[in-house]
Structure 1
């Protein structure tokens, strides 16, 4: 049976069944064979006489494979036992020797699994509790910074208001009081800065411990699991600052200071910051897991690219053969394809010259995409077929979608896989195909068996493998991870939001067209769905943007309704 190497496993965008010639999703795991299995291979595994008694579990509940170590004293034997009295691994022949006679002996694989779980648990605590909790406390300090500034500014305003009625008589007292607030503020902010530094140091310590734990968890360092002690320093405690309050005074010519009032600390004991107990960590766990997964998959381009302070129009094309530009696909060669809502699909060169024109059943959807090989594939919703146009202009039937109507399509720049948004009756889904056209994944519902899609009419993939779709019926952008689990949805910044064309760039940004009557803009989101800016609007001459695409040179192509013009912008530097 085929078993992927560690390097191959790291490169896979989803878990592949380990059975020979099977490329389906390996949702299960045989603890005896240490092999991922799909549903069909699991059932066959259970019926085969040699494997029917094997323990098969859900993949995430699998046992870690025990590292094989040859006994130094008996080179023909592997160490499979653990002598508790001597605290060393031994082989079965060592067990018969007199030095281990009468000792408690355990299965080394079970001991290894327990130790691995312990260390994995400690590593998980750092990632899921200690780090997020510490970062939360640090964020609390940052909020206190702002609060102290606001309170002190409010006090200064009150002092100035009081002083206004006293005219020149209170000028000197007012100046002294204001100076006093600056002194107090400086003292409080100095205290907060010290607390912030303390958490910075502690967080650095946690990262260092995390790295050490990962080293201990590796197979090559598995002996250290029996000798090292698990100990993480407690999160340092800090106190919240007690801001001063302003006590208004009553003024007279003889006692200006008394009537003006003064700034002082209330007789209040500082309140300790609340450290969330580890038992209540679930919200932090989810947040940290997202951050960890995303941080591992950042593009190398982030080291050299960033958002430009302004969007610059670099060129414009008038596309012959179409009435509007509802969708744009840019080829590796620099040529690009544009479609309108009448089924016209045309290819032009960088000079705007018409190269070929095809009549399709497509309308206002993202129904075509350029592949890694330089071909174009497009959907025919009426015939339930996906066609391929090769570089020599031959059109061939590529994929049949059965009962489902394919409405949108995207070829992954990462894996070459093909993502297709489909509809059937009142259902909708996203299907993943391999480069060769083999169906390998279907995404229909979330964990509560609720439908994820209604009309995924535009689709794309982000650099971390997230699948992003525009949902016109539900007026939102739906994003799931590469396994099909929901990540987030985006519903715009106004009460009206009509998402159409969608694409992503090398920084993980999501760009989506909003054709709502009061908007007609292009939104820029981060890869977690956070709104960053309106990157294009009527100020740049945009009106009803429908199609959007980013090429390999980080140029942004925008097509609009009612005109055959495609405009190209620079927004990264």
Structure 2
């Protein structure tokens, strides 16, 4: 069965026959007036006919599409064939004479339809010739990546098993050495005990001989001999030889944890680099075939961050204009903002040179601050219950009024620019999220069991996975919720006493929190598992109170009771 013209795709390879009755020749031309397809001979006859010689006959591909027949809803016997340009509605010629359309301009709907059909054909051609094949190429590329990823992951699993087997062999070797040492100690102790046993046995033989001698003295026939023996000397019996219990060895079990073993075996880390977007050819280059595999050049791949084997001091300097460094935040170009208990905000360069100094009205532990994506500095005014903004031209404006709640900590999201504020009223605490314009969009105060999450959210930050991390100085805990406000975990330190204060996160999703009790910084993974204490006694940091990570992945630590800032390298 032959397809009608409307059923044939515009780019399909098909055979059209002439529409003239009883003519079965191939169609090459089209009459836009009659909307009839015709062969070359019929075209010639059509143009010679007096009635049709002025018709517009064009090559078939340049034809105008015939307007579908649709009756007017108002005038049911009339066809819709006009478009009111002012009202942009199709209508029949009779509607065009009504007062609703008086004075309006009209366009032949067939021309509009033909234009729209041409646009549709262009879009169809774009889809068929470019978008579909490009998508197929990308699908093949993704399939190739799937295969490659499976090979890579299998290689990782083999490497892990090989490393574990190597560790098992080392464990077997150490255990064998320990057992051999136990065998030697056992042999030595047994030799000593056997020697003592022989010595006691000899002594017992001596006693038996002595008993026989005394029995001999008791014989009636030897009374003279007994008398003589008693007169000649006193009887002296040798004492029992001294012996001692052996000292046995003690086995001291190794002190290790799952994390220690994990450190020995290494860990899997996903590089903290943005995935490279697949290359999609543009329509202009559609004729150029896509490569089926898109790979980064080795020179374009950024190095993967990992923990250094040791923490090293990069530099140390004093922040002029403040007595204590209660809070630090990094601005653009690595410049540091620091504040103390007297309400002073000081900006320094990388070497401690003062660039700006601003006096705020905050007094109680100073003002806590953060730098936004736009480069503005915003800080909390606890006394007046405001959040203020300082623009790059040093204009200070009251940005957010927190009502009855006292704003404590503040952080500007690096993900979406939202502002996270830790607040308290009486003994209750909460975290409020504002958007860039200062509109309140979220409040977090209780877990899924209805229990109070916060008492004094002293410091706050956001991890790159969206988790909201706070250090609560009344609960003595780090409290972490996800971006929806659902409680994930709380961390209470490694000892019986834990005083968490300043905190931040890094590009590896680590959580770093100052502990003023142990004078160090705790390093946690994103799930709250303790990894290490970053600063040891060799670093000699007294009362680390504030912390942040700069653009070069350096750890910046500010100290309470002094205006010293120390910079450490802990990632490589």
Task: Provide TM-score, normalisation by structure 1.
Answer: 0.50
Task: Provide TM-score, normalisation by structure 2.
Answer: 0.50
Larger radius of gyration: 2
